[in-house]
Structure 1
Amino acid sequence: MLTTTRRATKPAGALGRWLTGAALFGVTAGLALLLARVTGSLPHVLPGYDEWQEQAYRRIPQFLRWVLGDTTEAQFYKSALGGLGLLAGGWIAHVAWKRRRRWAGFPVSGNTGLWPWVTAAALLGLLLSNIAWGWTLPASGSWQPTFVAFVSVPPMVVLTYGAGWRVAVTGAVLGAALTTPVALLLVNFVCVPLGLPAVVGSVTAMWVSALVAFPLCRRLPWLPEPVPPPASAGTTPRQGPVWVVRRVLADFSEAPFHGNEIASLGLLAGTVLTYLLNPLTPVYGSGLLPALLTAQVLAATVGVLVYRRQWARHGWYPTFVPVVSVAPAVVLTYGPTWPAVLSGAVLGALAAPPLAAFASRRMPLGVHPCAGNTFAMTVCTATLVPLLDIVL
């Protein structure tokens, strides 16, 4: 009798999760369509992206706003308000985690307690990256990947070597000195000539620079010994419909090493507000935010549902990878059509997470496994986006 009950509940649980995923995608698509329609009648309070870029390095306030916008580049948003929301949400989640609040959500920064130092290193690396390489923006007149230090080597170094200014500053300098110039070279001299999405060059620079930076870190006498892996966050939560929604949300802030629903809500709220204030400000002035969000929610939802057992088995799984690579790249390449949204999201969600997990387990000794995630972004985006040209 007990066996029969257990078998009967499994399909019901799976059905509930998939119905929740379908509802989440449906609500997102409906809100995205509404968002695209209402913005045409709203006044443009913020300057458009082109004007913002033109003013970025003229005065300190514009420069700081531009740098803050870089904190959301991994999600393709380029929104200063989204960046404020991300950082504010991350701080709230970190404080709630320290105080053991039930509503804190998924442990921010992977249950390490290092969120302040991760964020400090990432922001300092981002600031140094813009100071050192910002001249490439007005010189070229086009987009440049100055954001890459925020989501690559600086936070990886902190997560590997722990708290402290020596660690944070070292990671920040390595990010600005290695990741950004490699990204600039790859984007401008490989991606542009070959017609590849710029994200391919950006994410390739992240794992290439990590392979250089971490062997170098082992030779730096002022860095401490690597810290042990974080303790388990506790028993695996029940993976019901609520967990599905929470996990999909959290995937939006995984790239900047937050991985928390509150941080993601701040990020999304600030970005949508930016769109309402001027739809030609976020996503590089393309007006594609509604389609982009729809594709990203679908990619996260499919990934979380398909690889739910991997989440239960390992405690974490890289379902966020297509959210910040394949899905948005397909929309930016082929436009806001339903075939582009659906194909990019679903193919990315199926292919990218297992490749990222495989690559992360095979990183050289001492290299943070996140380098494997960015390697998967390179491979999947560089293959799937051109491949879809056959059918889209």
Structure 2
Amino acid sequence: MSPGQRLRLVLVLGSLIAIGPLTIDMYLPALPDIARDLHTTSAAVQLTLTGTLAGLAVGQLLIGPLSDAVGRRAPLLAGVALHIVASVLCVVAPTITTVGVLRLLQGLGVAAASVVATAVVRDLFDGAAFARLFSRLMLVMGVAPILAPTLGSGLLRWSDWRGVFVALAVFGVVLVAVAAFGLPETLPPASRRRGGVGATARVYATLLRDRTFVGLVLVTGLAMAALFAYVAGSSFVFQERYGLDEQQFGLAFGAGAVGLIAATQLNVRLLRRYTPQRILVAALVVGTAAGLVLVAVAATGFGGLASVLASLWVVLGAAGLALPNAPALALTRHGEAAGTASALLGAVQFGVGALAAPLVGALGNGGVAMAAVVAGGMLAALGVLVAVVRPARLGEIAPSAVAVVAH
């Protein structure tokens, strides 16, 4: 593959990767406005985020095996088309229930882009080439959540919340064109997997019988739940309790994402000296402690917004260390079914995360509610790691294997 072709592939796959974080995060600054405009509660608005995450979870379980059976392009184009239709309908949605259903459909469409992008890299590259290309795509995954709320805040300066969904629809149209003309089919018919639903179900059953794998997947999902509790509650806490405007919220949210990205890059250096097991344990201990401090400062008001942001920064940094290592340890146990294992891992990540968003609203949607769910996710992840995974019994894996994921 020539340098020009490789650059074009990176741009296409980067666009596919970016649509997920943009769809999840771009409308976050508008959540209070949606609640007011549709005459509903903040908890009901947060359920629309749950719908997106649920769509991502279910979609990965379905689209992963489907793309192995029929090829990459057809599921991708169909999924992005579904995302476009759902985005357009969100613009005219009359009720919060309608928005929630359409956000579920958006999640299903986004799942196609996420699964296919990863599968295409696996089709075309291995070894060092895979690591280099995947590292570039992971950087896009880190930058997109930073930009998304800021872009959403910018749109809200001249439009209402419906303008965010217009922008998502336009991006989807551009993405369909880019994928249709710039992404060839990478899975030839001879390499497609046969066997249908039964064979897929048997692979999933094998994975679910592996206690250590299941434990590591749950650790990943619970750490992700802590992140999504922050995603779901931060716009209400920062704007309504601490008085930030939409643009200031975008900057505060982006600062947290910077901490998350910095930790994932630090992880690569730490792996030169420490095993992924040790890093994972340390990250969850530190993240749990910081989560408990977050609960204390949110409940007492000690230190104001600065203390809340500092505690959140440490939690996000700990998650940035835990999230690359737990999936890498899990996936190295089932290299013969890496695609299906990845789909299950992604489904649990977003499925457990989907439960965190409405829980924040159910607890009152204030600073203490967000802090409690963030801390609870990290504490539960640490508990599962100790009680189910039992780190001392994990076999050693090559640090380079984790480095690929961590980039």
TM-score normalised by the shorter chain: which range applies?
A: 0.3 to 0.5
Task: Give the structure-1-normalised TM-score.
Answer: 0.34
Bigger helix share? 2
Q: Which structure is higher in RCO with an 8 Å CA cutoff and minimum separation 6?
A: 2
